[in-house]
Structure 1
Amino acid sequence: MLTKNKCPGSGYAEILIEAGMVTTGCLQSVLSGKAYAKALFCLKSVTETLERLLFESFMDMQQNTSEFNSTTLMTLVSIASRKTLEDALNDQSLMDCIDQYIRFEESVRTGVLGKTATFWLSVVDHLRLVMMLLYSVKTNNLMLFHECCGQMAELFFAFDGPNYSR
């Protein structure tokens, strides 16, 4: 699993234990991926937290420079529908904020917030890729599946162990 090879010594195991998501007895099963459902749940939860912290950091940096209509975004989050999505996509201030956030993420990848933030953002990026791969399998989307596999090639070769790239 992604966490066993990418996150040793990063504090990930301690986060899971302190948050009460796993016990010390099942920790190794979660980290190795043997307890697949639990491992995926833990990874999703930690990733959600990291994304929220990143967005909070972005909003703190942006509070003096730009304001957008958060009502449109909050409506989309609370009442997800085609209409609220169209309203959000038509709100130019929200689209500008999203563009700024994407640029902010890119700057974090280059080290603006330090090496720790860069590392954890790479974990988030790899989880997004794994989730897209799972989505492609569930929806039988062959094009997306091949795209994800192509982007995952570096992960297949990066870690010491069996090579599943075939």
Structure 2
Amino acid sequence: MRAVVQRVSEASVTVDGRVTGAIGRGFLVLVCAMGGDSEKEAEKLARKISALRIFKDEVGKMNLPLSAVQGSVLAVSQFTLAAQGMESGNRPGFSHAAPPDVGQRLYEHFCAIFRAEGLAVETGIFAADMQVDLVNDGPVTILFDTAAKD
């Protein structure tokens, strides 16, 4: 799975003029299930993100996880994170993304792991045309790919 995590002071997602999810301080997580991913990758990624220490402590050092600041998660599915083929052209391909039914199942499982960790989670609507508004705090933006070797 791939994810882009942005530390935000606020974020929301709107579908057809209706806000489907909104948070204050926390993480906006754009997430994509890739072909071959399973619940194992969804769990690994959600746990890694929930433990991510990028909020400032009392001396201003990025040292606190989401739970320490009573933050929330806005999780938005984004298959375009699977873009490939840009080396030789200008039109990306998305065939490396998981099929929609698998992607939705893994996205929902990913969100459930955050909830199991005791975090408040808001969401977009899977496969919908969404508008995302955010105030990136810092800015702080972190990229995750469960297939990458650290």
TM-score normalised according to structure 2 size: 0.25
Which is helix-richer, 1 or 2? 1
Find the structure with the greater CA-based Rg: 1
Using CA pairs under 8 Å that are at least 6 residues apart, name the structure with larger relative contact order, 1 or 2: 2
TM-score normalised according to structure 1 size: 0.24
